[in-house]
Amino acid sequence: MKYLVVALICCCSVAQAQTYKKVHRKAIMADSHNDLLTASIEKNVLIDQDLKGKTHSDLNRFKEAGVDVQLFSVWCDGDKLQPYAWANREIDTLYAVAKRNPKKIEIVETYDALKKAVRKNKLAAMFGVEGGHMIEEDINKIDSLFNRGVRYMTLTWNNSTSWASSAMDETKLKNDPSAKLGLNEFGKLVVQRMNQLGMMVDLSHVGEKTFWDAIQTTTKPVLVSHSNAYTLCPVFRNLKDEQIDAVGKNGGVIQLNFYSAFIDSSFKNREKIFLQNKQSEIKELIAKGMQKEYAQALVVDKYKEESLAIQPPMSMLLDHLDYIVKRIGVEHVGMGSDFDGISASPRELTDVTTYPLITKALLEKGYSKKDVTKIMGGNLLRVMKAQELK
């Protein structure tokens, strides 16, 4: 009898594993934010090589993870000279990869082209510019980037522009009555031009005033490419309840960020201690020309066991998902990992190949297969398709 029970348990476990893997494979898995292009330049690696242990992602691991659609972040910090040229360098990087690997990846420009690439078992790739500073105050550069495959732009990164205030800066200036916050007239023209082109307006990183100005200006569903719920983790980068509700009313989608500090508010203190102990190594990397975020990430990679010990569990990430779903519905949430742009993720989500664990957890929490398909990519694709409607 004992052996029969054990056998039944084993059979059930195998069946459950097959179920979640089948659901994951069947879904069009789409991630709205991955910083591999920047990481490949900072770490001097090629993304079509085996980068296990060096990055969260590479071309073959996207396939292994079941990722069908990836929007690659195009980013540099606000101190980078000639950010528009840097953006084009990163875009060139992916075009070179696609040229070398035509059977594995295709840079697509429309929803129909995306679906065709997925049917051919290729990774459908697009770009998202992370920070309006990268257009260098020139609205015509939006058109140029769009023509190269950019399908969203985050209005700000942590730094503000002359036409839009960031969440970081609005937090610092909230008690300054002279501060000019939100979108100015040029900023509203930027949003309008993005709408006309069919480029998603991304509201991650933007300040609250900018958020509301953009919501009132846009005529298309918005994207929040990599942010979480402020109520569960009160940091400047997460959305407050009223903002979450507004995205739902707008028909947009909130893509969850995997960065530990945006999931668990107690993580930052643990990370601060960890990084203080590694300051000499971080400063040495910065002195060699590496951007601060990647210097920190490299040190985290070097001390994996120590860094994993301070990271929150995946269940806390899914708490943010549940919270958003309860407020505005399952049609308005998805995945925007920020892989290769973050120094710490939930401890189970060590790289892109762990994505199926999210599908498994969602099914175990009671989400239907249809709902999981929406969360893992369907909602993002809906918002992308809506941009093409005139």
pLDDT score, position 8: 41
Within 8 A by CB and 6+ apart from 79, the residues are none
Closest by CA position to 341, among listed 48, 32, 24, 97 = 32
DSSP class per residue in 105-122: EEE--SHHHHHHHHHTT-
Q: pLDDT per residue over 323-348, tens digit each? A: 999 999 999 999 999 999 998 999 99
Q: pLDDT per residue over 28-66, tens digit each? A: 999 999 999 999 999 999 999 999 999 999 999 999 999
pLDDT score, position 2: 52
CB-based contact 286:42 (threshold 8 Å)? no
Q: CA-to-CA distance for 263 and 336, rounded, in angstroms?
A: 13
Domains of the chain: 26-264+312-386 (3.20.20.140)
pLDDT score, position 174: 79
Q: CA-to-CA distance for 349 and 260, rounded, in angstroms?
A: 11
pLDDT score, position 17: 58
Q: pLDDT per residue over 92-115, tens digit each? A: 999 999 999 999 999 999 999 999
Q: Please give the single-letter amino acid code of residue 367.
A: Y
pLDDT lower than 70: segments of the chain:
1-18
pLDDT score, position 13: 45
State the average pLDDT for the chain: 94
Q: What is the pTM of this model?
A: 0.92
Q: pLDDT per residue over 306-322, tens digit each? A: 888 899 999 999 999 99
pLDDT score, position 177: 80
pLDDT score, position 14: 44
